[in-house]
A = this chain, B = another copy of it.
Amino acid sequence: MPHSRPAPRPQIGQSILDLSTPLPLIDEVKVAANIARVQAYMDKSGLAFRPHIKTHKIPSIAAQQVAAGAKGINCQKVTEAEVFADAGFEDLLITFNILGPEKLDRLVALNERIGGLKVVADSDTTITGLTKAFADKKPLAVLVECDTGGGRCGVQTPEQALALAEQIVAAPGFAFGGILTYPKANSEAAVEAFFSQTVALLLARGISCPIVSNGGTPSLFSAHEVPSATEHRAGTYVYNDRAMARSGHCSLDDCAMVILATVVSRPTPDRAILDAGSKALTSDLLGFSDYGLIVDYPDAVITGLSEEHGTVDLSKVTGPRPEIGDKVRIIPNHTCVVSNLVDVMTFHRDGVVTRVEEVAARGLVW
């Protein structure tokens, strides 16, 4: 059934202060600076750079990252990789164990039409599934995922990594792509130890390791302390957020995303209610005790969210307090999850809307 009106969408040339809220906004100037700063560091460090598209989910932003020097991109789902393949990207690494017939079927089809598809595996089960799907197909590059202390996926020891690598090398339909980790922040020594030991074990068996892939934004500028790595992956750096500023990766001024919100109620002198709730900011705390930083009132505290309301404690705000109808800008705790909430993302330069991009890889369930 048709909507009575088209979904509201900002127009190019509008002032961001005239836009209806809540709405996430991206500062083009900060994005360009974030891309340039990190790429320059990777170039200086002799590391290939592979941005993770999870943060923006927009092909044109990935194109900016590649134009700046990124070697390829990182996706988390087959369907995301399809969106970016459609947009012309070829060097696509999917950092996920792909399991199940539907996903494997799509992975085979995707591999047939692009040149640089790669996936990861951390278990015999995943490799066996891939082996069956790719037995008589165009070979797929598979990297072994290593848990170097991050506590998520990955083999636990270099010996286990070697065993899986040998399984990949022996199976038809595969190329051994290398090793990969998603590390704990500030654990460069542990990553280097795991990587260097694994590469040595592989070399001793005559297996070369084309890619040694480290990752993460929080301690990205220490990536050069992992000399065994050949590439680094990171997503959040492109927009940055409150958690990245806390980690020391960037300053609050480097955060390209703000959520524009309006004060819709002032029930008491110390309480303001925003029209930005968990559907605009998400509930991600990432260790914070509140739900984002109000740039315009840094002493205000977003103490709680319901889906469409943010509750703000103004008791520590000295000086003028926001009134009903006032718009405020919020730096979210975590930018990537905000991108997943909206169908389009609004970009601006100096407060004037420059483009409205479809978040093409949003909402892909698997």
* A103 CB within 8 Å of chain B: yes
One of B110, B309, B340 near A341 (C-beta < 8 A): B340
User: Can you list 10 pairs linking A and B with CB atoms under 8 Å apart?
Assistant: A4-B86, A4-B109, A23-B365, A123-B266, A125-B323, A151-B311, A153-B265, A278-B284, A279-B337, A307-B337
- Among the 9-residue stretches A94-102, A183-191, A249-257, the one with 4 or more Cβ atoms under 8 Å from chain B is A94-102
Known: A308-B76, A309-B153. A364 touches B265 (CB 8 A): no
* Top 6 A-B residue pairs of the complex, sorted by shortest distance between their CB atoms: A125-B324, A153-B265, A283-B283, A97-B264, A20-B102, A76-B308
* A2 CB within 8 Å of chain B: yes
**Set of chain B residues within 8 Å of A155, measured between Cβ atoms:** 267
Q: Mark A308-322, 1 if CB is under 8 A from B, else 0.
A: 110100000000000
* A54 CB within 8 Å of chain B: yes
- How far apart sit A266 and B96, CA to CA, in the bound complex (Å)? 13
**Besides A2-B86, A8-B366, A99-B264, 16 other A-B contacts (C-beta < 8 A):** A8-B365, A54-B307, A54-B308, A99-B262, A100-B262, A122-B265, A122-B267, A126-B265, A129-B325, A152-B265, A152-B267, A154-B265, A282-B283, A283-B285, A283-B337, A307-B337
Known: A153-B273, A267-B147, A366-B21. A4 touches B122 (CB 8 A): no
- Chain A residues 315 to 366 lying within 8 A of chain B, measured CB to CB, are 323-325, 336-337, 340-343, 360, 363-366
A85 touches B4 (CB 8 A): yes
Known: A8-B366, A54-B307, A324-B125. A82 touches B284 (CB 8 A): no
- Chain A residues 85 to 135 lying within 8 A of chain B, measured CB to CB, are 85-87, 96-97, 99-100, 102-103, 106, 109-110, 113, 122-123, 125-126, 129
Known: A21-B366, A87-B1, A336-B307. A325 touches B153 (CB 8 A): no
**Set of chain B residues within 8 Å of A126, measured between Cβ atoms:** 264-265, 324
A308 touches B96 (CB 8 A): yes
Q: Work out how many copies of this chain go into the complex.
A: 2
- How far apart sit A315 and B266, CA to CA, in the bound complex (Å)? 47
- How far apart sit A53 and B249, CA to CA, in the bound complex (Å)? 41
* A44 CB within 8 Å of chain B: no
* A289 CB within 8 Å of chain B: no
**Set of chain B residues within 8 Å of A59, measured between Cβ atoms:** 1
Q: Which of A7, A110, A152, A271 has the most CB of B within 10 A?
A: A152
Q: Mark A29-73, 1 if CB is under 8 A from B, else 0.
A: 000000000000000000000000010000100000000000000
B153 touches A264 (CB 8 A): yes
**Set of chain B residues within 8 Å of A1, measured between Cβ atoms:** 59, 86-87, 360
- How far apart sit A279 and B338, CA to CA, in the bound complex (Å)? 10
